[in-house]
Amino acid sequence: MKGLVISAPASGSGKTTVTLGLIAALRARGLVVQPFKSGPDYIDPAFHRRAAGRESYNLDSWAMGRAQIAHLIGLGAGADLAIAEGSMGLFDGVARPGGCGNGASADIAALTGWPVLLVLDCKGQAQSAGAVALGFREMRRDVALAGVVLNRVASPRHEALMRHALDALAIPVLGVLPREAGIELPERHLGLVQAQEHATLGALLATAGEAAARHLDLDAIIAAAAGGIAAEPFCPLPPPAERIALAQDDAFSFVYPHLIAGWRAAGATILPFSPLADQVPDDSAGACWLPGGYPELHAGRLAASGRFRDGLRRFAQTRPVHGECGGYMAMGAGLVDAQGSRHEMAGLLGLETSYERRRMHLGYRRAEPLAGLYRQPLAGHEFHYATILAQPDAALARVADANGDAVTETGSRRGHATGSFFHLIGAAP
């Protein structure tokens, strides 16, 4: 499958809005677009899914090997082309390589042969945009630059100055987005506000698609798509049970689509339920999984959902319950919100967390479980702002960061209950 990587020199340059607009515009032309996201991110793929009408899968060169990446690209079979949104800047990753790279979007471009469409935030610069694009073209010879999209352009004169510099370098300008394009997305502390929380997302995507059709050279972008990767044998992580109760609502939505797809491909049945609606895990399930999300924004409702908490406790008496990050906090004894109010959680674990004084925890993780649903070494990441006030239970795993240094956040276990701030991506490559 031919494709393109949408990247930029840095976060905040407009990658997501360009990606969504491009997907919507190509889909309006009748093309089937398969979206992907480079790196560990839950929020952008949900927007991709709404824009493309197809599931968006994460591709991660640190947490995944070549075979897994090829397998996930293969899940998009039947599409006309792939559009992969990068993360941070094109070459940004960790210091030590993992599965088949250091987590940079450039690794995915090199591995697949997909050329890069570089989004340049042009605010405050003119001809210097040429120097930026030149540096990105020359940085890695195994990464091809298809061209640039000039974003937040102030005027025709501003555009002409940049085109003059780029034309001299033979770097194609494949789009020019004016500063008032009007397709910005609202953000919060873990990134963009979630797709399912946008009441007018359909209209926003339509606007983005119209802007892309008007301001991007769609014919040239389609012609620039190239590359592809051959499939390799790969076996995803097995499901934790034949029937899995999966928490799914605005408080618990951070679970990787490829993880669920792998479970389903192995024959597992997913049984969604909503803790915010005071629902309980299906009693026919053999395991319960509480993904990450935003329990801190809904702590009062979770504390008032007595039926959910009682049902979860009953379930955990006989079967495994596992929580990731937000799910882990909901399984704890209590959660202190940003205003300093403590809310009672399910109490399956003794964990106490607080958002009164936020502190960011971010990075790749490698875990060696001491108990729980999986026992082999695992690759994942951690991203949250919670402070741990108490963590009295036995450790769930030995955890290290991307440099191999030990991480003190080991997760917890008590009876059939396990949890950690570790977001599972897959078996360690």
DSSP, collapsed to helix, strand or coil, labels residue 413 as strand
Name the active-site residue from 100, 122, 288, 325.
325
Is residue 241 within 8 A of residue 286, CB to CB? The reply is yes
CA distance 85 to 196: 20
CA distance 427 to 281: 26
CA distance 106 to 131: 19
Residue 209: how many CA atoms within 13 Å on its side-chain side? Answer: 18
Neighbours of 118 (CB within 10 A): 26
Strand partners, 378: 367, 427
CA distance 144 to 81: 17
What φ, ψ does residue 63 adopt, rounded to 5°?
A: -90, -10
Is residue 412 within 8 A of residue 350, CB to CB? The reply is yes
CA distances from 162 to 19, 121, 135, 150, 217 (A): 22, 12, 15, 9, 17
Is residue 418 within 8 A of residue 412, CB to CB? The reply is yes
User: For residue 224, what is the enclosing H or E element?
Assistant: helix 218-224
Please indicate whether residue 288 is annotated as part of the active site.
no
Sign, CA dihedral 140-143-144-150, equals negative
Q: Which residues are catalytic?
A: 325
